[in-house]
Structure 1
Amino acid sequence: MRKRIIMGKYNIIVAHPYQQHSFQTASAIKQMGALQSYITTVYDKNSSITALVKRLLKGDNLKRANNRKCSYLEDREVIQFCEFESLVLLLLHRIDKSRKIYDRLNTYILKKFNRKLAKYIIKNNIDAIILYDTLCAECIKILRENKTETKIIIDMSAPNFAYMDYFFSENVKKYPKYSEKLLNEMKSAKYLERLKNSKYEIENADYFFVASEFSEESLVYSGINKNSIFICKYGIYMDNCNFIKQKSAKIRIIFIGDVTQKKGIIDFIQIIRNLNVNDFEFNIVGKYDEDDPIYKSNKSICNFYGYVTHDEVLKICENMDVIIFPSLSDGFGLSVIEAMSKKVVPIVSKNAGVSDIIINGVNGFTFEVGDNEMVVSKCRYLKDDKLALNSMQNEAFKCVSTMKWTDYYKQIEEAIKIIFES
């Protein structure tokens, strides 16, 4: 049996087959002395296959690989399952345009990872396991079948998928002309399986961590008691240097995210089509398809950056004035607070968890999904009133400068104490 490496009275695992914000969750659990292991797939651990592959990389690929390590965790605290297969999956993500082989391998890895994880939990008599939404149904099923006493906590990186499905359906009804791709996705076996797995996870988990009131609301939608939900707001690492924002004759607007209907790209295009190109500049940062009509019909008025690294996104934001975040359903929106750290005024959908931190007219604006006229009016207001724009840029910066990951750690610790004392 693996020797426990904890100092506290709890024995907790954080497990994620990919990454997302799980490094922060694992760090929070370690800080309170309760981390038994962090379990993942691809991780830059000494003697790992990932470390060997990294020697062959350069440029942006090397930057991405360097992010596969958490400086706060020691290698002995990290366990890897399915590493080789997952490295192959990362390669397929870049070369398999049809996604057919990628999807099959991904399904295989998730099932294998979850089975290995469940076996490890049972063998080591773990007190609690922190899992991630839509990725853990198989593990939960095995734990429930074996009637373990392990407390199952789902850290919701996104809202309840059933709730998201509702908003996707509404948007498809609103924009039938542009919704063929999303509608086909929603009818696919992969999507329906994800919906089924998400429902099983939510019905069989004991507790939930969420980053926002919107994500909390999404769980209540499926009948989860609020007493089982803990709001733990994300933090940000930022340079607190109060830099001077460069002026521009035009208001520079940015959209950050994949160029998809789910991220609100159709609403974004409707918005910018109602703004004068002589007064505004439009920028889209995120993966897009060159064959997509959205790209083809708007490349003359928008700067499409495509996928860029995290550092490059921050650099681009230094020369932006406003971020429009029209997501149909988003658990938080880290890209928004990162933009705010560069003095970019947020105009965000109320279906994005980051709307929790927005004070209308002070550090940004919120709007109901689909209320594009309201967004257009706020953009024009900021163009006409440069003093208001400057004030809101400074307030946006001040707002996120107080958001620390250490506060997130404290919220996680408090949640764990309540879970074990209840």
Structure 2
Amino acid sequence: MKKITIYHPFGNANTRAAVDGIYKQGILESFHTCIACFKGSFLYKLSSFGPLKEFRRRCFSSFLKDKTITHPFKEFGRQIAPKIKLNSLTAHEKGIFCVDNICYDLDHKIAKYVQKNNEKIGGVYAYEDLALQTFYTAKKYNIKCLYDLPIGYWRAMRSLLNEERTKNPEWAITLGGFNDSNKKLQRKDEELKLADKIYVASSFTKKTLEIYPGKLANIEVIPYGFPPVNTQRKYDEIQNRKIKVLFVGGLSQRKGLSYFFEAIEGLEDKIEATVVGRGNMETCPALKEALSKVNYIPSLPHDEILKLMANQDLFIFPSLFEGFGLVITEAMSQGTPVITTDRTCGPDIMHNGIDGWVVKAGETKPIRDLLVTFISNPSILIKTGQAAMHTAAQRPWSVYEKELAESVNKFLND
């Protein structure tokens, strides 16, 4: 049976699920990351102290320990540089410890690993910005190249967000996504060209690839899973109080922030809005003014965000360009219904009007109309929140693990 090498510098939720599933399928050759700790290990014990708590987030399933190879040097540098005020070391694409250099460094290390161990590797599973050198090497040895694109295609993003720049110029400075060099963008295109199989987590991400200037391999949509459902969720009486509305995410117009604020404007006597996320308010007066009118929390630990979600009546996530949107599944798992757009995972995981609402991206009126409906009939939110929990219970992360691993196995060994 052919086995696969998979790697990611940081090990986010979807990567963890992918690695666990591939291991359980019996086809994991090795997993590579920058920093990994396992329960009971020395690093795990160290991560209980102050500034080292960040490493607790790099804890992986214990059964992966013998299959995991770490490459920590540059990632340690990235963690330390801001703490000692050396931010230039992590500057976008230029700093020695920036995310781009960490990705390219890991890519080169895996390429060397594949060259050395090519006889026992049947495939490599790589993520965007991490694949080029490894794919070049894999091709030399007829090793299959599997590619995971976690966010939409860059040409589609620029096209859609350029429209938004014109439409809402006062928010344009928050958009981001336009500072990647041509070299980096060409690298993304070359990675896609080399891929033998492409995985995405939403139909929207797949759709963005339609404008790729060339022929692509088969693209398969496998939505991510939901966190554990909050079975202790209790719904307070909602009839005689303000509806509690929440947004969580980066404070960028890419997340559709202006549409969130426009939708709730003038409803302050009926709605209590909370926003959680980081952003540069000083460079965007519109953002600064909007945040002054809501409960604003710059940052919360992940477990506290889940608790906050479970204490809200409605989650609004009007993103303009999203590969998936994990906050959507998190809110639903907490029994909080979600309004989101057709440029997120919403169409793939929701039944519109039953366990949430999917509206057209870049429009305020559909969100506003729903809010007015909820103000008149708030019990809809309870019914929909309960349905959202039911949906979440049907697709835990273990389902994503199994579906992805079975697809990978079939592609490698069929």
Query: Normalising by structure 2, what TM-score?
Result: 0.89
Question: Unpaired runs of 5+ in structure 1?
Answer: 1-8
Paired residue for 2:151, among 144, 158, 161? 158
Contact 1:96 1:102 in 2 (8 A): no
Question: Unpaired runs of 5+ in structure 2?
Answer: none
Cα deviations by residue, 1:328-361 (Å, 9 ceiling, x for unpaired): 1111111111111122111101000233222222
* CA deviation after TM superposition for structure 1 residue 191, in Å: 4.7
Taking structure 1 as reference, are residues 55 and 395 closer, same or farther at Cα in structure 2, changes over 3 Å only? closer
1:288 corresponds to: 279
* CA deviation after TM superposition for structure 1 residue 263, in Å: 1.7
- Tell me the secondary structure at the aligned position of residue 363 of structure 1: coil
1:32 corresponds to: 25
**Aligned alpha-carbon RMSD (Å):** 2.5
Taking structure 1 as reference, are residues 362 and 51 closer, same or farther at Cα in structure 2, changes over 3 Å only? closer
2:254 corresponds to: 262
1:85 corresponds to: 74
- Tell me the secondary structure at the aligned position of residue 370 of structure 1: coil
Task: Provide the C-alpha distance between the structure 2 equivalents of 1:306 and 1:156, rounded to a whole number of angstroms.
Answer: 28
Amino acid at match of 1:128: G
Amino acid at match of 2:153: N
1:351 and 2:343 matched: yes
Task: Provide the C-alpha distance between the structure 2 equivalents of 1:93 and 1:73, rounded to a whole number of angstroms.
Answer: 33
1:70 corresponds to: 60
- Which aligned pairs between 1:11-410 and structure 2 lie closer than 5 A? 11-20=3-12, 21-44=14-37, 51=44, 54=47, 56-57=49-50, 62=53, 64-81=54-71, 83-92=72-81, 101-103=90-92, 104=95, 105-106=97-98, 107-125=100-118, 126-144=121-139, 147-182=140-175, 186=178, 188=179, 190-222=180-212, 228-239=218-229, 241=231, 243-248=233-238, 249-273=241-265, 275-291=266-282, 292-410=284-402
Task: Provide the C-alpha distance between the structure 2 equivalents of 1:306 and 1:128, rounded to a whole number of angstroms.
Answer: 41
Contact 1:268 1:326 in 2 (8 A): yes
Contact 2:337 2:355 in 1 (8 A): yes
Task: Provide the C-alpha distance between the structure 1 equivalents of 2:213 and 2:182, rounded to a whole number of angstroms.
Answer: 20
What is the number of residues matched between the two proteins?
A: 404
- Tell me the secondary structure at the aligned position of residue 130 of structure 1: strand
Taking structure 1 as reference, are residues 231 and 265 closer, same or farther at Cα in structure 2, changes over 3 Å only? same
Task: Provide the C-alpha distance between the structure 1 equivalents of 2:214 and 2:22, rounded to a whole number of angstroms.
Answer: 24
1:413 corresponds to: 405
Taking structure 1 as reference, are residues 198 and 124 closer, same or farther at Cα in structure 2, changes over 3 Å only? same
Task: Provide the C-alpha distance between the structure 2 equivalents of 1:95 and 1:165, rounded to a whole number of angstroms.
Answer: 35
* CA deviation after TM superposition for structure 1 residue 370, in Å: 1.1
Contact 1:164 1:328 in 2 (8 A): no
Task: Provide the C-alpha distance between the structure 1 equivalents of 2:117 and 2:367, rounded to a whole number of angstroms.
Answer: 53
- Tell me the secondary structure at the aligned position of residue 31 of structure 2: strand
Cα deviations by residue, 1:63-114 (Å, 9 ceiling, x for unpaired): x422211125332211012x02211202335665966644312233322211
Cα deviations by residue, 1:143-166 (Å, 9 ceiling, x for unpaired): 44xx22111111222122222222
* CA deviation after TM superposition for structure 1 residue 407, in Å: 1.5
Please say which of residues 114-123 and 354-363 is displaced more in the overlay: 354-363
Taking structure 1 as reference, are residues 109 and 402 closer, same or farther at Cα in structure 2, changes over 3 Å only? same
* CA deviation after TM superposition for structure 1 residue 226, in Å: 8.2
The percentage of aligned residue pairs carrying the same residue is 24
- Tell me the secondary structure at the aligned position of residue 50 of structure 2: coil
Contact 2:18 2:405 in 1 (8 A): no
- Tell me the secondary structure at the aligned position of residue 69 of structure 2: strand
Task: Provide the C-alpha distance between the structure 1 equivalents of 2:319 and 2:88, rounded to a whole number of angstroms.
Answer: 24
Taking structure 1 as reference, are residues 318 and 191 closer, same or farther at Cα in structure 2, changes over 3 Å only? farther
Amino acid at match of 2:246: I
Taking structure 1 as reference, are residues 349 and 77 closer, same or farther at Cα in structure 2, changes over 3 Å only? same
Larger RCO, structure (CA 8 Å, separation 6 or more): 2
1:4 corresponds to: none
Task: Provide the C-alpha distance between the structure 2 equivalents of 1:226 and 1:322, rounded to a whole number of angstroms.
Answer: 39
Cα deviations by residue, 1:246-297 (Å, 9 ceiling, x for unpaired): 2341111111111012222222222222x41000111111122342424421
Amino acid at match of 1:164: M
Taking structure 1 as reference, are residues 272 and 100 closer, same or farther at Cα in structure 2, changes over 3 Å only? farther
- Tell me the secondary structure at the aligned position of residue 245 of structure 1: coil
Query: Normalising by structure 1, what TM-score?
Result: 0.88
* CA deviation after TM superposition for structure 1 residue 223, in Å: 6.1
Task: Provide the C-alpha distance between the structure 2 equivalents of 1:56 and 1:244, rounded to a whole number of angstroms.
Answer: 34
Please say which of residues 25-34 and 159-168 is displaced more in the overlay: 159-168
Please say which of residues 294-303 and 323-332 is displaced more in the overlay: 294-303
